[in-house]
């Protein structure tokens, strides 16, 4: 999502050269970006900070609320520490400056789709500092079986799958239910356990002894 048409067209042309990617849409402002995200539910959104109507920070927040599994890649000229930190707190998966190469953007997409993060060298130090402290900042309520017992059987299954690293689309496919149903279950789980993100759910599952390790398994 980029306000300069030439840049958007350049990104589209770059990605159409790769058979693995389908460009399902683009937008020149935050309002259009949010509307198209709701309608198209892409796997990845490439987003600038400076876009009209709604800035990239607020747009990223709203995209995360639409579907937390959508990967957000920031491509911007802004490298201020406070902006980088705010975007990481929102949950972006990659942060590239506009001096990055075409190869960097493709590498960022591949990394985020593989569940990894990707940063330009110029912002990696800030990201590394934030990530080092991120897990320690997550507050997970004391584990007790009473809270866990409040979950339904389906919610327990989804908790386990989220903790194993499955996204909502994958969970929906495995359980033969809709993505919206999965997201509703996830919201109910977080409410019952008083946890607010997937990292917190993973820590909760580990503390409860549901996971022997955090390496994802095919089920």
Listed residues 111, 136, 161: the one ending a domain? 136
Report CA-CA distances (Å) from 190 to 7, 88, 147, 197, 198: 39, 21, 11, 7, 9
Domain of 21, CATH number, reads: 3.40.50.2300
- Sequence-distant (6+) residues with CB within 8 A of 184 are none
Whether the CB-CB separation of 66 and 30 falls below 8 Å is answered with: no
Looking at the 3D structure of the chain, how many domains does it have?
A: 2
The pLDDT tens digits for 148-169 are 899 999 999 998 887 776 777 7
CB 73 within 8 A of CB 92: yes
- Position 217 in a domain: no
71 phi-psi bin (left φ>0, alpha ψ -120 to 50, beta other): beta
Q: Give per-residue pLDDT as tens, 92-151.
A: 988 988 777 788 888 888 888 877 778 776 676 665 555 445 545 545 555 667 888 999
The contacts of residue 158 (CB under 8 Å, 6+ apart) are: 171, 175, 182, 185, 186, 189
Q: Which helix (H) or strand (E) holds 73?
A: strand 71-76
168 with 82, same domain?
no
Domain coverage including residue 194: 145-208
């Amino acid at each position: 999502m980029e306000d300069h048409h030439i840049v958007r067209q350049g990104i589209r042309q770059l990605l159409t050269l790769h058979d693995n990617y389908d460009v399902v849409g683009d937008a020149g402002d935050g309002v259009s970006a949010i509307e198209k995200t709701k309608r198209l539910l892409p796997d990845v959104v490439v987003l600038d900070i400076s876009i009209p109507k709604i800035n990239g920070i607020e747009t990223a927040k709203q995209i995360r609320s639409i579907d937390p599994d959508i990967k957000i890649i920031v491509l911007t000229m802004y490298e201020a520490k406070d902006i980088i930190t705010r975007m990481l707190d929102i949950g972006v998966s990659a942060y590239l400056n506009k001096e990055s190469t075409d190869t960097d953007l493709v590498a960022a997409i591949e990394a985020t789709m593989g569940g990894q993060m990707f940063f330009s060298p110029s912002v990696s130090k800030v990201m590394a500092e934030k990530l080092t402290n991120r897990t320690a900042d997550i507050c997970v309520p004391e584990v007790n079986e009473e809270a866990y017992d409040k979950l339904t059987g389906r919610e327990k299954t989804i908790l386990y799958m989220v903790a194993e690293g499955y996204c909502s689309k994958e969970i929906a496919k495995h359980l033969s239910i809709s993505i919206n149903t999965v997201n509703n279950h996830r919201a109910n789980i977080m409410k019952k356990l008083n946890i607010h993100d997937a990292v917190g759910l993973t820590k909760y599952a580990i503390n409860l002894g549901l996971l022997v390790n955090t390496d994802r398994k095919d089920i």
